[in-house]
């Protein structure tokens, strides 16, 4: 049994994956939308619910963007490392794969805290 690996195909896939959320215009427009249901109690409650849901959708999109960009970077690095692989690089490649999930989680945490990524 043999394993085949196409570094250029991985890099191309990484590029496509990383660009999935490039167009954030719909979420930027959504972020700017302010509901106006009226000035009575039920309407103000509804506005708060809508704003919370809107903020959740926008935050989710921003998290996806960070995750996809991190995956693009890491997959490209892995593909490059495989191209140059020898005995020492195998450990480096394994470490890159193992660190991907922690890297994305850390970026999302910093993003949530308001830090620039």
In a domain, 97, yes or no: yes
Q: Helix 87-112 to helix 41-83 angle, to the nearest 10 degrees?
A: 170
In a domain, 44, yes or no: yes
117 pLDDT exceeds 70? no
78 pLDDT exceeds 70? yes
For 86, how many CA atoms within 13 A lie in the half-sphere containing its CB?
2
52 pLDDT exceeds 70? yes
What is the extent of the structural domain holding 98?
Answer: 25-112
In a domain, 99, yes or no: yes
In a domain, 29, yes or no: yes
In a domain, 8, yes or no: no
In a domain, 63, yes or no: yes
What pLDDT is recorded for position 106? 78
83 pLDDT exceeds 70? yes
Higher-scoring residue by pLDDT: 13, 104 = 13
What pLDDT is recorded for position 107? 76
Q: E strands along the chain, which residues?
A: none
Q: How many domains does the chain have?
A: 1
State mean pLDDT over 88-105: 71
In a domain, 18, yes or no: no
Cβ neighbours for 2, distance < 8 A, ≥ 6 positions apart: none
Q: 46: pLDDT confidence band, cut at 50, 70 and 90?
A: very high
Q: 80: pLDDT confidence band, cut at 50, 70 and 90?
A: confident
In a domain, 7, yes or no: no
């Amino acid at each position: 049994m043999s394993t085949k690996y196409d570094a250029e195909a991985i890099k191309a896939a990484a590029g496509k994956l990383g660009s999935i959320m490039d167009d954030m215009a719909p979420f930027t427009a959504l972020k700017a939308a302010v509901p106006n249901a009226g000035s009575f109690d039920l309407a103000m409650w509804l506005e708060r619910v809508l704003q919370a849901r809107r903020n959740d959708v926008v935050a989710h999109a921003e998290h996806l963007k960070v995750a996809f960009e991190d995956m693009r970077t890491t997959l490209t690095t892995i593909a490059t490392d495989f191209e140059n692989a020898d005995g020492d690089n195998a450990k480096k490649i394994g470490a890159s794969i193992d660190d991907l999930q922690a890297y994305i989680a850390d970026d999302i945490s910093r993003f949530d805290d308001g830090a620039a990524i």
